[in-house]
Amino acid sequence: MKLYTGDLSPYSAKVRMQIYAMGIQDALSFDLPVQFMMGKMNEISPIGRIPVLEVAEGLIPESEVIAEYLDERFPDKALTGGSLKERADVRVVSRIADIYLMNNIFMSLSQANPETRVQAVLDLLIGQVRRGIGALEQHIGSGEFAVGDSLTRADCTLVPALWMCSSTVPRLGFDSPIKAGTRVASYWDKIQNNAFAVKILDEMNKGMKARLDGTERKMAEEAIARAQSKPSQ
Ligand SMILES: N[C@@H](CCC(=O)N[C@@H](CS)C(=O)NCC(=O)O)C(=O)O
């Protein structure tokens, strides 16, 4: 199996956290294809986004689908939660993180440049993020983990989503939507000590540093030059 992934990509980080937590090592490698760096990821996968999981039978896009595939392929290690209701709660929290937090923050990145931004668009999207956090506040557990008393896929989606809330949203000129004294804030404080969370947070911070200091751009330019100098087959 190969996962097409990037350090800074929160949707990829979500799948990597699951892979680390499940201890999947056999025949699994990570790669960022040069086509992604060239803005041509759709030559590999029609949706044109990472992560994508390559398995013997073909490609699987969409982080949530990959996550379910991994749970089904390795059922003895699955991170789906315990009782039927707990399993539903895991999916609800994962969807809140995915659709209402990460997706809206991603969309708001299109308005990152203050010179060209349409403030009303940004206000709308960040308003939706705050609404998502409000919903999460009602659904999240009060213990160490998002649902129940062990790590589940809900944590794997929430960690990169809350990282975006706390580090990306302020870069867009808004306060972090994670407010002190809430259950979400308490969870966020605690989960950052989890070893698998630590690992992907380090990777995302490394990716952010590489983006900000120009290393990412340099590596992409070198990879593109290498790909273009290869004789076409
Ligand atoms: N719904 C998708 C979203 C994936 C996504 O947006 N990935 C970003 C990187 S984190 C991407 O590939 N962006 C490239 C683009 O938008 O062209 C998933 O859950 O996998």
User: In order of start, what are the domains of the chain with their CATH numbers?
Assistant: 2-77+215-229 (3.40.30.10), 84-193 (1.20.1050.10)
Which helix (H) or strand (E) covers residue 55, if one does? strand 52-55
Give me Rg for the CA atoms of the chain. 18
Nearest CA to ligand 1 atom 9: 9
- Is the Cβ atom of 71 under 6 angstroms away from ligand 1? no
- Is the Cβ atom of 11 under 6 angstroms away from ligand 1? yes
- Is the Cβ atom of 50 under 6 angstroms away from ligand 1? yes
SS3 66: helix
Query: Which amino acid, one-letter code, is at 140?
Result: I
Instruction: Dihedral sign for Cα 133, 201, 185, 80, please.
Output: positive
Confidence at residue 188, expressed as pLDDT on a 0 to 100 scale: 98
Nearest CA to ligand 1 atom 16: 49
Token duo for residue 71? 């749970």
Q: How far is 172 from 152, CA to CA, in rounded Å?
A: 30
Q: Which atom of ligand 1 is nearest to the CA of 9?
A: 10
Q: How far is 17 from 14, CA to CA, in rounded Å?
A: 5
Residue count of the chain: 233
- Is the Cβ atom of 49 under 6 angstroms away from ligand 1? yes
The pTM for the full model equals 0.96
Confidence at residue 230, expressed as pLDDT on a 0 to 100 scale: 81
Q: How far is 92 from 154, CA to CA, in rounded Å?
A: 8
Backbone angles phi, psi at 129, to 5 degrees: -65, -45
Confidence at residue 233, expressed as pLDDT on a 0 to 100 scale: 57
Cβ atoms of residues 44 and 33 within 8 Å? yes
Q: Give me the average pLDDT of each 10-residue run along the chain (233 residues).
A: 96 97 88 95 97 97 97 96 96 98 97 96 98 98 96 98 97 97 98 98 97 96 92 65
Confidence at residue 213, expressed as pLDDT on a 0 to 100 scale: 97
Confidence at residue 60, expressed as pLDDT on a 0 to 100 scale: 98
Q: How far is 8 from 209, CA to CA, in rounded Å?
A: 9
